[in-house]
Chains A and B, each alone.
Chain A
């Protein structure tokens, strides 16, 4: 549909507001992490740093436990993403292709999981994990993160399977391929975008998880980024340079990940939404 001059003007204006709302804070955080402390808290923020310093990063990486938190988070988030993709693919295929009693009931039941406040299971999970010696381990966080990412991932995966043309399977069946072989060698490779979408979803939700990580991890050496960084907020007298450097480095991995496969993630979200 054609837009007149006023329509174009409104569009450009709203785009500018939207960009300012979403991107400006991120830009200011990133650019300010290179500014000298005095410039960081100047009343009118500079768009580009006038002063340039790496002192905040040197302090963050040299004297704080940030590198440890970063490594822990990377390990936990990558493992959680891997396990979630694996389990969601298995379940997604079963719910999409197999016919068995109680399938639709089970499928809906899984989605009910999100109706429960996660705080409900915090106390019982702590007690259970304490009994089997999982407190203060990375594995505990991986289990919890997979649990929270899995229902939504199964839902997305089933939608991705359903979007593949059915002729593929029929052709493979005529060629004598078993269903498992068809799934493994024909369907799964075509689902790479879906797998990327689920991987990023699971990675991001683990990367940002705070509540369980704050309760299930006790020693500082095992701490993940959100909990560790929130500790740094309180630990020093507010050192904005240090915090902004920490914030920038915490955003970086998800932004890189998102730059690579983000479009599949958004496509996955919207495809799921219309089914």
Chain B
């Protein structure tokens, strides 16, 4: 991946690199590495309100957090959230990418503007869907009734499973175009003559998709699955603003629980302990996914 260049002078490289990288890497060290170390430190202290001092308490926070039900409940909700998002987004994005991979008038414009849902602020996403899904005055309920899917207005956020499902669909609406654009890049790398050869052999569109597109798209899908898992695990604002983790904790993912523990229940130490455990799990999951899903021949 690195572009080595034997002919270039190397003597000044080290010094120049330090010069160029000092600011960017210095910033990241101060705002990412240092806080992560500090999070571990906080998790080992009995700190309540933010900014207050607390006594060293060893692994007390960890044992308290890990033996309480709230953490495991939130972890379960997070798992449903991550898997649900991965599934819905992948399906929508593959379909969208296949459409955008075709040639038609205006395709270049469509490839740019499809990403519109991703560039608008989350709070706007929240306003849009609260309005459209509202049981009084929203348009989704009358629409679903008129095409006969439901026979009376539904409260999309009133029951636990419905709230979580609605949130997953809304978040997927926001993210699937982004995934589709990435997939499109993968699709465009597939040589066109493969399709032509298959067509000559009499393979129909579905057979071509299964024999060529799907297998050759796997590396791109792997990267996107790992990225998507980490990104959607992280999502906080859309859940917080739509349901605040409710009803009755049904949509309380780990980030929401951590936020509530730190800023509503004022237990900084506990919140830090949970976030450290969550980070370790995420890194473990990323390694596992890469190891499991990566095609073996690409692993050399």
Contact = CB atoms under 8 A, between A and B. Distances in A.
A47 B82 CA distance: 35
Interface residues of B, number: 102
Given A94-B20, A225-B121, A128 B39 contact: no
Contacts of A45: 139
Contact of B120 (A104, A233, A251): A251
B2 A14 contact: no
A94 B233 CA distance: 32
Interface stretch (B23-31, B63-71, B155-163, B292-300): B23-31
Contacts of A100: 13-14, 17
Contacts of B111: 266
A269 B237 contact: no
A200 B116 CA distance: 13
Interface in A183-224: 200, 204, 207-208, 210-211, 215
Contacts of B13: 98-100
Tell me the interface secondary structure of chain B in the complex. Answer: helix
B142 A207 contact: no
Contact of B16 (A44, A94, A119, A262): A94
B286 interface: yes
Contacts of A14: 95, 99
Contacts, number: 276
Tell me the interface secondary structure of chain A in the complex. Answer: helix
B275 interface: yes
Contact of B127 (A93, A126, A233): A233
B149 interface: no
Interface residues of A, number: 95
A140 to B, nearest CB: 10
Nearest to B107: A15
A91 B28 CA distance: 12
Given A98-B16, A274-B189, A116 B50 contact: no
B24 A124 contact: no
A269 B95 CA distance: 19
Interface stretch (A18-26, A49-57, A60-68): A18-26
B279 A244 contact: no
Given A21-B173, A244-B131, A123 B99 contact: no
Interface in A150-193: 150-151, 154, 162, 166, 179-180
Interface of B: 1-5, 8, 10, 13-14, 16-17, 20-21, 23-25, 27-28, 31-32, 34-36, 38-39, 42, 50-51, 95-96, 99, 102, 104, 108, 110-117, 119-124, 126-132, 136-139, 142, 173, 177-178, 181-182, 184-186, 188-189, 192, 195-196, 199, 205, 220, 223, 227, 230-231, 233-234, 236-237, 240-241, 254-255, 258-259, 262-263, 268, 271-272, 275-276, 278-279, 282-283, 286
